[in-house]
Structures are given as C-alpha cells and as structure tokens.
C-alpha cells in the first residue's frame, strides 16, 4: 500500500482495440502503478492481470442494469482520487477517439487533480493492420474519415452524407445498428458495387470480417449476423482485405 500523502492522479490509458499485446509500455507502467483501475467492456480484461494489487472496478454495461452514466464514472474517479489514489481509467482503443475522454479530463481539472492521457491503438488502426486493409493507398485512397454512426441525440451525423460524396475511405464506429440508413446514404452518392466491409472484434481471436458492396451488404449481414463491436468500412480499401484473413464474402456466405 502507498503512503497516504501520495498525490492523487488520474491517468486515462488507451487499452488498444482488443489484442492485449496492443498496449503501450507507458500504458503498462500506468497500469502497474495504479491503486484502482476503472475499466469497461471494450478493454480486454487480460490487461487487468498486469496489476495483482489494484482494485478493479467495472464501469461498463451491467447485466440487467443500465450502463454506468458518464456522470457516475466521473464521480467515481473523484471519489477514488480523494483517497490520494492513482486512478487508471482504462478505455478501449484510444481514449481521445470517441471515448468521452474530455469529460473525464475536465472533471479532474475542475478539482485540481493531476491528469494524464496515454494514447492507445484505436480500433480503426488495429483493424487496418490486422486485416491488411489499406485505409490510404497511393493512387487509390488519399484520405480517410473516422466517424461515428450515432450522434448524441441518436441520429445519423450529417458528416456521413458529406463523407459518402467523397472518394475517401470512410470508417464508421458505433454504426452497426444504423447499417440500413448508412448504406442508403451511400447509395445516393455511389454505384451499387461500391465496396463495403464490416469488421467485428478486430484484433481479437474471434474477429469476423464480411466483405460486400452497397447492394448486397445488408442481405449478406442478415445471414452472417456480424454485430458489436463492429466497424463499417466504405471505399476501395474495403475490398483489399488480405486473402489470408478469414473473412466472409458473397461466395461463402451464400454457399
Ligand atoms: N476509443 C475507441 C472507440 C470507442 S467507441 C477506439 O479508439 O477505438 C466504441 C466503438 O468502437 C464500437 O461501437 C465499435 O464501432 C468500435 N470498436 C472498438 N473496438 C472494436 C473492435 N475490437 N472491433 C471492432 N470495432 C471496435
């Protein structure tokens, strides 16, 4: 146990996208020096084994309960910091990418608690590497967008329509439940054979990848049933998946 006069600190640590080896050395050190670790369902629980002594608090979706609200998580962070603890908030992927990190950082700042952020490998970047999907490629895709499928008010973001009109690779997080609307939007701007992929559980042993195009991805996924957590990829990159990566295509899904 640490002496009680130790200064409180909150560290937001990027847990990476799933494979527990995709943690930075800095993230590992933060985990090892934590007194308490707050984690949710996207962080691989294997990462908790790096620290046998810390208290571990699950702040994800509780069975039969509502998900912890951001306000509840913020107040837990403060409660633990009041014990002069080093509090690690372990977050899936990179904390600064759709991770509501800023609300936790501001909570710490408002109370004068030291706060540090350790980056992590985001799900889109882990997916691109493990499935050899070139989110940029010379002469084919010159930029990429990483966007959310779900706005604060639960609606589709207007940015998706702008992205759909571009030639960029478009990667959508939190979009699985909005797949029909998103495909519909792309159909207004692109031809029916425009490539689409879905990657579920990227970088994990149980990863599943489905490749199709605008006019068949809905039907293919009605059979393959890929779900959360999943990434949607639109654009030429989506059909460049490495052949050795186990994945589902129209041929084998319909076979
Ligand atoms: N900070 C995270 C994103 C949090 S939002 C990051 O940098 O990746 C949660 C969304 O991330 C999920 O709905 C899903 O779209 C995506 N996601 C996270 N981990 C994933 C994984 N292993 N495979 C596929 N999608 C993932």
Q: Is 97 in the pocket of ligand 1 (CB under 6 A)?
A: yes
* C-alpha of residue 156 to centroid of ligand 1, in Å: 17
Residue 117: count of CB within 10 angstroms of its CB: 21
Are the CB atoms for 95 and 101 separated by under 8 Å?
A: yes
Residue 66: count of CB within 10 angstroms of its CB: 8
Distance separating alpha carbons of residues 108 and 81, to the nearest angstrom: 9
From the CA of 173, give the closest atom in ligand 1.
15
* C-alpha of residue 83 to centroid of ligand 1, in Å: 32
Testing ligand 1's pocket by substitution, the residue of 39, 42, 90 carrying the most ligand atoms inside 8 A of its CB is: 42
Query: On the CB side of 199, how many CA atoms lie within 13 Å of its CA?
Result: 30
Q: Is 42 in the pocket of ligand 1 (CB under 6 A)?
A: yes
Q: What is the pLDDT of residue 5?
A: 45
Structural domains in the chain, sorted by start: 9-118 (3.40.1010.10), 123-253 (3.30.950.10)
* C-alpha of residue 82 to centroid of ligand 1, in Å: 31
Catalytic center residues? 40, 61, 174
Reference 190, options 173, 221, 167; nearest CA is 167
Q: Is 17 in the pocket of ligand 1 (CB under 6 A)?
A: yes
The helix/strand/coil state of 8 is coil
Are the CB atoms for 9 and 116 separated by under 8 Å?
A: yes
* C-alpha of residue 17 to centroid of ligand 1, in Å: 7
Are the CB atoms for 26 and 102 separated by under 8 Å?
A: no
Reference 240, options 147, 138, 161; nearest CA is 138
Helix (DSSP H) and strand (DSSP E) numbers for the chain: 8, 10
Q: Quote the pTM value.
A: 0.93
Q: What is the pLDDT of residue 98?
A: 95
Each of the 255 residues of the chain gets a pLDDT tens digit; together they read 444 445 899 999 999 999 999 999 999 999 999 999 999 999 999 999 999 999 999 998 766 667 789 999 999 999 999 999 999 999 999 999 999 999 999 999 999 999 999 999 999 999 999 999 999 999 888 999 999 998 888 788 889 999 999 999 999 999 999 999 999 999 999 999 999 999 999 999 999 999 999 999 999 999 999 999 999 999 999 988 765 566 788 878 887
Reference 204, options 31, 41, 26; nearest CA is 41
Q: Is 93 in the pocket of ligand 1 (CB under 6 A)?
A: yes
User: Please, where are the H alpha helices in the chain?
Assistant: 25-32, 70-81, 101-110, 123-130, 158-164, 179-187, 217-224, 250-254
By CB atoms closer than 10 A (0-12, 13-18, 19+), residue 216 is middle
């Amino acid at each position: 146990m640490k002496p009680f006069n130790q200064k409180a600190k909150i560290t937001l640590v990027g847990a990476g996208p799933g494979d527990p080896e995709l943690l930075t050395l800095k993230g590992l050190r933060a985990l090892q020096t934590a007194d308490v670790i707050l984690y949710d369902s996207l962080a691989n629980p294997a990462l908790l084994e790096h620290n046998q002594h810390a208290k571990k608090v699950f702040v994800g979706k509780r069975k039969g309960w509502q998900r912890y609200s951001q306000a509840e998580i913020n107040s837990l962070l403060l409660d633990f910091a009041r014990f002069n603890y080093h509090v690690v908030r372990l977050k899936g992927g990179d904390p600064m990418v759709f991770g509501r990190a800023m609300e936790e950082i501001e909570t710490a700042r408002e109370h004068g608690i030291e706060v540090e952020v350790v980056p992590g490998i985001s799900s889109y970047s882990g997916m691109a590497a493990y499935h050899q999907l070139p989110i940029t490629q010379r002469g084919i895709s010159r930029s990429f967008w990483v966007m959310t499928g779900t706005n604060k008010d639960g609606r589709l973001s207007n940015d998706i329509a702008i992205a759909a009109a571009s030639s960029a690779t478009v990667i959508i997080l939190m979009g699985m439940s909005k797949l029909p609307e998103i495909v519909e939007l792309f159909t207004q701007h692109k031809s029916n054979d425009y490539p689409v992929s879905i990657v579920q559980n990227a970088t994990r042993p149980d990863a599943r990848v489905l490749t199709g195009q605008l006019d068949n991805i809905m039907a293919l996924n009605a059979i393959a049933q890929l779900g959360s957590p999943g990434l949607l990829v639109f654009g030429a990159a989506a059909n460049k998946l490495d052949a050795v990566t186990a994945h589902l295509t129209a041929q084998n899904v319909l076979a």
